[in-house]
Amino acid sequence: MLPSCVMPASKLEIRFACSGEATRPRSMDLKKQLADLRGGDMSDAFEAAKNLSNRTRKPVDEIIAILNEAQSAHNREAAAYALSWAFGRRDQKPLEALLATFDKVGESPGVRGQALEGFGLQHPSRRNRLWSGIEAAILRGLADEATEVRFWACYAAGELQVKSALPKLQELAENDTEICLNWWRVSEEAADAIEWIHGRKTEFRLPMPRQSETEEPK
């Protein structure tokens, strides 16, 4: 069964909207938010990330430290999400940290996927000094073995209109039927990305379950 929720704007927001966690009371204490981001369970870490992302002045250095140091993957993923919304900084620290995270050997697909989503949310121009590295990361992501990484590489390629990604996106649109948990098939995201690159609008989508959740019992 499809979740009875309206499509939110980002990966973390769909997790809240479909789980009911969006109604939890917010802590406005910065120290508490950072502590939860670093060591809280999944719910607390994601709530902290959402609250931190809404701050006018985001503690970028502290969030980067958590992204680099947190022991649990869900804490690092939440930190990457919070960092993805740190716009307008001349020093490029958020993008540098997200790019380094994507390239980190052994990092979890969830964290690397969030870094890719962050590229799309940050929306750097081709004049950005990090552009070549970001484009290369997206192209590698499209060929990654992890479904979640391929999905968010499609998103980033479309959002940033990476024309060099079109051949691989076409291949994924035709062949990759894997479902990204809480979203939809990689093939559908790839097809959407192709449309975005060409400046065309796409249809509204709702999340779908994995294939194993819809199969009839044997």
Q: Check: CB of residue 50 under 8 Å from CB of residue 23.
A: no
Domain residue limits, the chain: 11-122
- Which residues does 212 contact at the CB level (< 8 Å), separation at least 6? none
Candidates 187, 133, 143; CA nearest to 165 is: 143
pTM, to two decimals:
0.84
Write out the chain's pLDDT in tens, 218 residues.
Answer: 223 333 334 555 555 555 444 445 555 799 999 999 999 999 999 999 999 999 988 999 999 999 999 999 999 999 999 999 998 777 899 999 999 999 999 999 999 999 999 999 999 999 999 999 999 999 999 999 999 999 999 999 999 999 999 999 999 999 999 999 889 999 999 999 999 999 998 888 888 765 544 444 44
CA distance 118 to 35: 22
Nearest alpha-carbon partner for 1 in 138, 218, 203, 206: 206
Are the C-beta atoms of 40 and 55 separated by less than 8 Å?
Answer: no
**What distance in Å separates the CA atoms of residue 102 and residue 137, rounded to the nearest whole number?**
7
| Identity at 85, one-letter amino acid code | W
- Tokens for 196? 């975005």
